[in-house]
Amino acid sequence: MLDADFFRRWLTTAAAAVDREAERLTELDSPIGDADHGSNLQRGFTAVVSGLEKEAPDTPGAVLTQAGRQLISTVGGASGPLYGTLLRRTGKALGDAAEVSEAEFADALRTGVDAVAALGGAAPGDKTMLDALVPAIDALPTSFAAARAAAHEGALATTPLQARKGRASYLGERSIGHQDPGATSSALLFEALAETAEEAAHE
């Protein structure tokens, strides 16, 4: 079972990964965006972590809902509302249970990813974060490690795609040949999730 502490650790690990990779995320956002994806997420996840330090919610649903609200209110770019919606809607779907099973979490995360697709109007193949998120949630019922691998593969597979949503879509065919920054950060979130699960299993 997964408790509030598991989700706090996931988000803290994700924030550290975002810090470590911020420069690379911003570099990916240079040729097909406005070179701010790394700094956008750094600002957002720093706020998430300090929010969780100030006030530690005691259910998985409340941890994710609070984190989602922080992302929405601190990140100006497209990714803030999208990732914020992902976490907030996932949290809402988890309700107020003190612990949730991996299967319940996988179901809730699917609700969150559906909400991202509805908000942004994108589908897999449009060269967005959904190209990593959708394969990851499809693999999540197998294992956290399978979801991490699927997200990573999904992010790499955005390179040959032409962007149909977001800022990169303004470039038309010139968006081809570049890995999508949002799909890359989504892969980081699933890497952090797998790491957190591995650490929890060793305790």
- Ramachandran class of 81: left when φ > 0, alpha when ψ lies in -120 to 50, beta otherwise: alpha
Residue closer to Mg ion (CB basis): 71 or 150: 71
Query: Does the footprint of Mg ion cover residue 44 (CB under 5 A)?
Result: no
Question: Considering the rule CB under 5 A, would residue 29 count as an interface residue with Mg ion?
Answer: yes
Which residue in 8, 37, 110, 152 binds ligand ADP (CB under 6 A)?
A: 37
Rule CB under 6 A: say whether 24 interacts with ligand ADP: no
Tokens read off for 54: 């100030």
Burial class (CB in 10 A: 0-12, 13-18, 19+), 173: exposed
Instruction: Give the β-pairing of 2-3 and 99-100.
Output: antiparallel
Q: Which residue's C-beta sits nearest to ligand ADP?
A: 182
> Which of 60, 84, 91, 120 contacts ligand ADP by CB under 6 A?
120
Euclidean distance between CA atoms 60 and 48, whole angstroms:
14
Residues that bind ligand ADP (CB under 6 A): 29, 33-34, 36-37, 40, 77-79, 82, 120-122, 128-130, 165-167, 180-183
